[in-house]
Amino acid sequence: MSKDAVASAYTVMLNDEGFKELVVEDPTVLDPWELDDGEKAVLVEEAATEVSGYSIGMGPVMGHLGSGPPLSPGVASSLGFALNRAGGLPTGSLKGPGLVSDAACCPWGHAFVGFGAEQE
């Protein structure tokens, strides 16, 4: 399906701990995103994993998003903001699209969001 759909669902999970619990209890809450079974499984695994601090963004969802086509600018901006907020990083200086930070504190400088992979 769409990396944007996975990233959008993950953004909701990062912004709402209650939604993470719902995903674990009833994965059908992910149905509005029209995800395939593999994408749902990655999101459920992420929701069931306790992650905090600098580990935010290093789980199975970001591994899934880390290759292939770039995210759309709006989705990348929303995800980057949510990752920064969840990781305790600055959010006030983020400017979309592409998440350019005045403080240059963020590992994502454009719509391709990935960790451990070369970015163009």
The values of phi and psi at residue 32, to 5°, are -60, -20
* Burial of 37 (C-beta count, 10 Å sphere; 0-12/13-18/19+): exposed
The Cα 61–Cα 3 span in angstroms is 10
Q: What is the pLDDT of residue 25?
A: 94
CA distance 91 to 112: 18
| Positions in the chain whose pLDDT score sits under 70 | 1, 50-57, 90, 92-120
Name which of 117, 120, 109 is nearest 62 in CA terms: 117
Q: Which region holds residue 49: left if phi is over 0, alpha if psi is between -120 and 50, else beta?
A: beta
17 Cα distance to chain centroid:
14
pLDDT number for residue 108: 47
Q: Residue 111: its pLDDT value, please?
A: 42
